[in-house]
Amino acid sequence: MRRQPCAAGLQRASHALSDENACEIKVTVLVTIISIKYDWLLTNHQPLLCIAQNRERLMPEASTLSSSVVALARGAVVHPARNPGAPFDASWFDDLRVNQSAVERRTATLGTRRTVKKDAQAAWLLKAITCIDLTTLSGDDTEGRVRRLCAKARQPVRADILAELGIAPHGITTGAVCVYHRFVATAVDALRGSGIPVAAVSTGFPAGLNPHELKLKEIEASVADGAEEIDIVVTREYVLTGNWRALYDEVRDFRAACGAAHLKAILATGDIRTLSNVARASMVCMMAGADFIKTSTGKEGVNATLDVSLVMVRMIREYHARTGVLIGFKPAGGVSDAKTALLYQILMKEELGRAWLEPELFRIGASSLLADIERQLEHHASGRYSAFNRHPVA
């Protein structure tokens, strides 16, 4: 994988210094690095943390957060072009090897080198809400549960908390609602007029062992019912046996069946054993036309981890360098608290850039995350933590 240059001031400089000049040069280098690092932090956090001065126009009574928080939460409009894919070329991934120790060292720094506090933390958490695929994928799902989930997606944070934060009612929604095919039509009806897309899991989710033709029919049926996003699962056997051409052809067929609906390819990283397999499978799925790559179904023994996610976003960066196409990323399973969500946001910002904080390029598959984010926002607004049972149950 290619190594991305660090921002100025964040990469340690090593110099061969003569004895007589070493002390003076070291001091100069240290002062320069501190100065550059400070300037870099201001520049890179400016779109997220700057304080605007017209909060009163949004909600005169509430002045806890600046209007820049609202701007961050709503975000810049990002309309990445659909991924057309690329011809199968094994040279793009055959020689990929992942240094697991280096991956672990990199992910260990995510929560230590910088922190997001106070107003900034509230802003990032509001942004995280807009990137949640609010999900129910249980065997006991009912139409009533799906409708309650959709109501929560429309208003994910209690109105009184939004008022305390200075956010207009209904100014924040989740990124999507994700359900089984059976409930796609129900969710589409419940979300009508909200602009929130419905995502359907498909292709024999979660195992992905249905016959290929049945998988294609399932995708087509979900699209016909109104699903705008299709979360497919790949055949793990192709990854485990190194049958990359078969994986490419499978995902290519899924992409064609989706039509205008966006395709999210679930790698089930907990099942495919090695980080090198994760890297190769990511590249093959993007070559085949996946608009997003997704870590897990949420049903594996091991779901989303920062290590796996780092490898996948580096592959997104590699694919973008080769093709110019922007690919989205979705961690799913195990992202259940606000602190973890912030780590994933930091990962996206540092590895891919500001555009990947928007729901068009970043989603978090979650069912319980929203409750903890809402608690953190209430604490920011009131100074007190509430119990989980205080918040609406989807």
Catalytically annotated residues: 231, 294, 330
Separation of alpha carbons 127 and 358, rounded Å: 8
Q: Under the phi-then-psi rule, with left for phi > 0, alpha for psi from -120 to 50, and beta for the rest, what region is 183?
A: alpha
Question: What is the C-alpha radius of gyration for the chain, rounded to an integer number of angstroms?
Answer: 22
- Count each helix (H run) and each strand (E run) in the chain, helices first: 14, 8
Let me know: does 307 contact 295? Beta carbons within 8 Å. Answer: no
Tokens of 110: 């995510």
DSSP 136-203: ---TT--HHHHHHHHHHHHS-S-HHHHHHHT--TT----SEEEE-GGGHHHHHHHTTTS-PPEEEE-S
Copy the structure tokens of residue 235.
Answer: 């055949």
d(CA 173, CA 167): 12
Distances (CA, A) of 329 to 6, 164, 261, 349: 22, 32, 16, 12
Q: Give ∠ CA 323-324-325 in degrees, rounded to 5.
A: 90
Cα–Cα distance for residue pair 126/174, rounded to 1 Å: 10
